[in-house]
Amino acid sequence: MFHDFINLLYPRFCQSCQKTLLKNENVICTSCLHELPVTNYHADNENATSKVFYGRIKIEHATSLLLFEKKGKVQQLIHNLKYRGQEEVGEYLGKWLGKELLMTPGYNEVTAVVPVPLHKKKFKRRGYNQVDLFGKQIALALQVPYVDSVLLKKTATTSQTLKTRLMRWGTIEESFTIENPELLKNAHVLIVDDLVTTGATLEACAGKLLEIPGVKISVATMAIAV
Protein backbone atom coordinates (compact mmCIF):
# COMPACT_ATOMS: atom_id res chain seq x y z
CA MET A 1 0.00 0.00 0.00
CA PHE A 2 2.84 2.40 0.88
CA HIS A 3 4.56 1.63 -2.44
CA ASP A 4 1.33 2.34 -4.31
CA PHE A 5 0.96 5.66 -2.49
CA ILE A 6 4.52 6.73 -3.32
CA ASN A 7 4.08 5.66 -6.92
CA LEU A 8 0.92 7.75 -7.10
CA LEU A 9 2.81 10.84 -5.94
CA TYR A 10 6.02 10.10 -7.84
CA PRO A 11 5.19 7.77 -10.72
CA ARG A 12 8.04 5.96 -12.41
CA PHE A 13 8.06 5.73 -16.19
CA CYS A 14 9.46 3.20 -18.64
CA GLN A 15 12.61 4.68 -20.13
CA SER A 16 11.71 3.21 -23.50
CA CYS A 17 7.99 3.97 -24.00
CA GLN A 18 7.26 6.40 -21.12
CA LYS A 19 4.31 4.38 -19.82
CA THR A 20 3.91 4.22 -16.03
CA LEU A 21 5.83 1.30 -14.54
CA LEU A 22 3.98 -1.30 -12.52
CA LYS A 23 5.06 -2.21 -8.99
CA ASN A 24 7.17 -5.18 -10.12
CA GLU A 25 8.80 -3.34 -13.04
CA ASN A 26 12.06 -1.41 -12.99
CA VAL A 27 13.42 1.08 -15.58
CA ILE A 28 11.93 -0.79 -18.56
CA CYS A 29 8.37 -2.10 -18.67
CA THR A 30 7.74 -5.78 -19.35
CA SER A 31 6.27 -5.10 -22.78
CA CYS A 32 9.30 -3.11 -23.97
CA LEU A 33 11.70 -5.59 -22.38
CA HIS A 34 10.24 -8.37 -24.51
CA GLU A 35 10.51 -6.22 -27.63
CA LEU A 36 14.11 -5.07 -27.21
CA PRO A 37 16.38 -6.38 -30.01
CA VAL A 38 18.82 -8.46 -27.94
CA THR A 39 21.90 -9.64 -29.86
CA ASN A 40 23.37 -12.47 -27.74
CA TYR A 41 26.68 -11.54 -29.41
CA HIS A 42 28.63 -12.62 -26.33
CA ALA A 43 27.84 -16.24 -27.23
CA ASP A 44 29.46 -15.92 -30.67
CA ASN A 45 32.73 -14.08 -31.10
CA GLU A 46 32.22 -13.94 -34.89
CA ASN A 47 29.63 -11.21 -34.44
CA ALA A 48 28.98 -7.79 -35.96
CA THR A 49 30.69 -5.89 -33.13
CA SER A 50 33.84 -8.00 -33.43
CA LYS A 51 33.84 -7.53 -37.21
CA VAL A 52 33.89 -3.73 -36.78
CA PHE A 53 37.51 -4.08 -35.63
CA TYR A 54 38.75 -6.74 -38.08
CA GLY A 55 42.02 -5.66 -39.70
CA ARG A 56 42.13 -2.49 -37.62
CA ILE A 57 43.22 -3.41 -34.11
CA LYS A 58 43.62 -6.56 -32.05
CA ILE A 59 40.56 -7.27 -29.93
CA GLU A 60 40.16 -10.46 -27.90
CA HIS A 61 36.37 -10.36 -27.61
CA ALA A 62 33.66 -7.84 -28.46
CA THR A 63 29.95 -7.69 -27.81
CA SER A 64 26.95 -5.38 -27.77
CA LEU A 65 23.84 -6.08 -25.74
CA LEU A 66 21.26 -4.53 -28.09
CA LEU A 67 20.71 -3.43 -31.69
CA PHE A 68 20.29 0.32 -32.16
CA GLU A 69 17.83 1.46 -34.81
CA LYS A 70 16.77 5.03 -35.51
CA LYS A 71 13.48 5.88 -33.79
CA GLY A 72 13.54 2.52 -32.03
CA LYS A 73 13.24 1.62 -28.37
CA VAL A 74 17.01 1.35 -27.87
CA GLN A 75 17.54 4.83 -29.27
CA GLN A 76 15.03 6.14 -26.73
CA LEU A 77 16.83 4.36 -23.90
CA ILE A 78 20.23 5.75 -24.80
CA HIS A 79 18.81 9.22 -25.47
CA ASN A 80 17.26 9.28 -22.01
CA LEU A 81 20.54 8.10 -20.51
CA LYS A 82 22.78 10.63 -22.28
CA TYR A 83 20.63 13.73 -22.47
CA ARG A 84 17.94 13.44 -19.80
CA GLY A 85 20.00 12.34 -16.84
CA GLN A 86 18.45 8.89 -16.59
CA GLU A 87 21.57 7.14 -15.33
CA GLU A 88 19.46 4.23 -14.11
CA VAL A 89 19.34 3.05 -17.74
CA GLY A 90 23.10 2.47 -17.78
CA GLU A 91 22.94 0.71 -14.42
CA TYR A 92 20.12 -1.56 -15.58
CA LEU A 93 21.88 -2.53 -18.81
CA GLY A 94 25.17 -3.05 -16.97
CA LYS A 95 23.58 -5.48 -14.51
CA TRP A 96 21.96 -7.32 -17.41
CA LEU A 97 25.11 -7.65 -19.51
CA GLY A 98 27.35 -8.28 -16.50
CA LYS A 99 25.41 -11.43 -15.60
CA GLU A 100 25.75 -12.67 -19.17
CA LEU A 101 29.49 -11.99 -19.40
CA LEU A 102 30.22 -13.68 -16.08
CA MET A 103 29.03 -16.96 -17.60
CA THR A 104 30.82 -16.47 -20.93
CA PRO A 105 34.32 -17.93 -21.60
CA GLY A 106 36.79 -15.18 -22.40
CA TYR A 107 34.95 -12.36 -20.68
CA ASN A 108 35.34 -14.04 -17.32
CA GLU A 109 39.10 -13.66 -17.86
CA VAL A 110 38.82 -9.85 -17.85
CA THR A 111 40.84 -8.25 -15.04
CA ALA A 112 39.72 -4.60 -15.33
CA VAL A 113 36.87 -2.56 -16.79
CA VAL A 114 37.71 0.83 -18.36
CA PRO A 115 35.15 3.35 -19.65
CA VAL A 116 35.48 5.48 -22.74
CA PRO A 117 36.17 8.80 -20.99
CA LEU A 118 34.50 12.17 -21.40
CA HIS A 119 36.51 15.37 -21.71
CA LYS A 120 36.32 17.32 -18.44
CA LYS A 121 34.35 20.14 -20.09
CA LYS A 122 31.67 17.76 -21.35
CA PHE A 123 31.65 15.96 -18.00
CA LYS A 124 31.11 19.25 -16.20
CA ARG A 125 28.32 20.25 -18.59
CA ARG A 126 26.52 16.89 -18.43
CA GLY A 127 27.38 16.11 -14.81
CA TYR A 128 28.17 12.44 -15.40
CA ASN A 129 29.70 9.99 -17.84
CA GLN A 130 26.81 7.98 -19.28
CA VAL A 131 29.01 4.88 -19.35
CA ASP A 132 29.99 4.91 -15.66
CA LEU A 133 27.14 2.96 -14.07
CA PHE A 134 27.04 0.55 -17.01
CA GLY A 135 30.74 -0.21 -16.58
CA LYS A 136 30.63 -0.33 -12.79
CA GLN A 137 27.86 -2.92 -12.83
CA ILE A 138 29.80 -5.09 -15.28
CA ALA A 139 32.92 -4.75 -13.11
CA LEU A 140 30.87 -5.71 -10.06
CA ALA A 141 29.50 -8.80 -11.81
CA LEU A 142 32.98 -9.86 -12.98
CA GLN A 143 34.47 -8.97 -9.57
CA VAL A 144 37.22 -6.82 -11.10
CA PRO A 145 38.20 -3.16 -10.57
CA TYR A 146 36.57 -0.33 -12.47
CA VAL A 147 39.49 1.86 -13.57
CA ASP A 148 38.71 5.38 -14.79
CA SER A 149 42.03 7.01 -13.91
CA VAL A 150 44.21 5.62 -16.71
CA LEU A 151 42.52 6.38 -20.04
CA LEU A 152 41.70 10.10 -20.21
CA LYS A 153 40.24 12.43 -22.83
CA LYS A 154 42.74 15.24 -23.30
CA THR A 155 41.03 17.25 -26.05
CA ALA A 156 37.38 18.00 -26.67
CA THR A 157 35.98 16.92 -30.03
CA THR A 158 32.82 17.91 -31.85
CA SER A 159 29.96 15.48 -32.35
CA GLN A 160 31.04 12.46 -34.39
CA THR A 161 27.56 11.26 -35.33
CA LEU A 162 27.51 12.27 -38.99
CA LYS A 163 31.19 11.66 -39.76
CA THR A 164 32.64 8.72 -41.68
CA ARG A 165 35.21 6.42 -40.04
CA LEU A 166 38.11 8.17 -41.81
CA MET A 167 36.84 11.60 -40.84
CA ARG A 168 36.40 10.48 -37.24
CA TRP A 169 39.86 8.97 -37.05
CA GLY A 170 41.49 12.27 -37.90
CA THR A 171 39.85 14.01 -34.95
CA ILE A 172 39.89 11.15 -32.43
CA GLU A 173 43.35 9.66 -32.93
CA GLU A 174 45.14 12.07 -30.61
CA SER A 175 42.23 12.84 -28.28
CA PHE A 176 43.17 10.30 -25.62
CA THR A 177 46.09 9.96 -23.26
CA ILE A 178 47.33 7.48 -20.67
CA GLU A 179 48.14 8.21 -17.03
CA ASN A 180 49.07 5.79 -14.24
CA PRO A 181 49.79 2.98 -16.75
CA GLU A 182 51.14 0.73 -14.00
CA LEU A 183 47.54 0.18 -12.86
CA LEU A 184 46.80 -1.80 -16.02
CA LYS A 185 50.12 -3.48 -16.75
CA ASN A 186 49.49 -7.05 -18.01
CA ALA A 187 45.73 -6.55 -17.62
CA HIS A 188 42.93 -7.91 -19.78
CA VAL A 189 40.92 -4.71 -20.16
CA LEU A 190 37.26 -4.57 -21.07
CA ILE A 191 36.54 -1.16 -22.64
CA VAL A 192 32.89 -0.14 -22.23
CA ASP A 193 30.86 2.41 -24.17
CA ASP A 194 27.23 3.17 -24.91
CA LEU A 195 27.13 2.74 -28.68
CA VAL A 196 29.42 1.45 -31.42
CA THR A 197 28.90 2.82 -34.92
CA THR A 198 32.10 3.08 -36.99
CA GLY A 199 34.23 1.92 -34.05
CA ALA A 200 36.66 4.83 -34.41
CA THR A 201 36.41 5.98 -30.78
CA LEU A 202 36.83 2.48 -29.37
CA GLU A 203 39.69 1.81 -31.78
CA ALA A 204 41.49 4.95 -30.60
CA CYS A 205 40.97 4.01 -26.94
CA ALA A 206 42.19 0.47 -27.53
CA GLY A 207 45.25 1.76 -29.37
CA LYS A 208 46.23 3.91 -26.41
CA LEU A 209 45.69 1.14 -23.88
CA LEU A 210 47.73 -1.29 -25.97
CA GLU A 211 50.73 0.97 -25.41
CA ILE A 212 50.78 -0.37 -21.84
CA PRO A 213 52.95 -3.50 -21.58
CA GLY A 214 51.08 -6.78 -21.57
CA VAL A 215 47.59 -5.34 -22.08
CA LYS A 216 44.88 -7.28 -23.91
CA ILE A 217 41.64 -5.63 -25.01
CA SER A 218 38.01 -6.69 -25.16
CA VAL A 219 35.00 -4.46 -25.82
CA ALA A 220 31.42 -4.31 -24.53
CA THR A 221 28.79 -1.74 -25.47
CA MET A 222 25.14 -1.19 -24.68
CA ALA A 223 24.26 -1.27 -28.36
CA ILE A 224 25.52 -1.41 -31.93
CA ALA A 225 24.08 0.71 -34.74
CA VAL A 226 22.50 -1.28 -37.56
pLDDT of 55-98, one tens digit each? 999 999 999 999 999 999 999 999 999 999 999 999 999 999 99
> Same domain for 7 and 109?
no
pLDDT of 188 > 70? The answer is: yes
Tell me the average pLDDT of the chain. 91
Phi first, then psi: give them for residue 188, nearest 5 degrees. Answer: -100, 105
> Same domain for 22 and 83?
no
> Same domain for 27 and 87?
no
pLDDT-derived band at 47 (thresholds 50, 70, 90) equals: very high
pLDDT-derived band at 226 (thresholds 50, 70, 90) equals: confident
Residue 172: predicted pLDDT: 75
pTM > 0.75: yes
> Same domain for 120 and 11?
no
> Same domain for 27 and 42?
no
> Same domain for 152 and 55?
yes
Residue 157: predicted pLDDT: 64
Domain residues for the domain of 105 are 37-225
Mean pLDDT of 34-52: 96
Domain tally, the chain: 2
> Same domain for 25 and 114?
no
Q: What is the pLDDT of residues 127-184, one digit of tens each?
A: 999 999 999 999 999 999 999 999 999 887 655 555 555 555 456 767 899 999 999 9
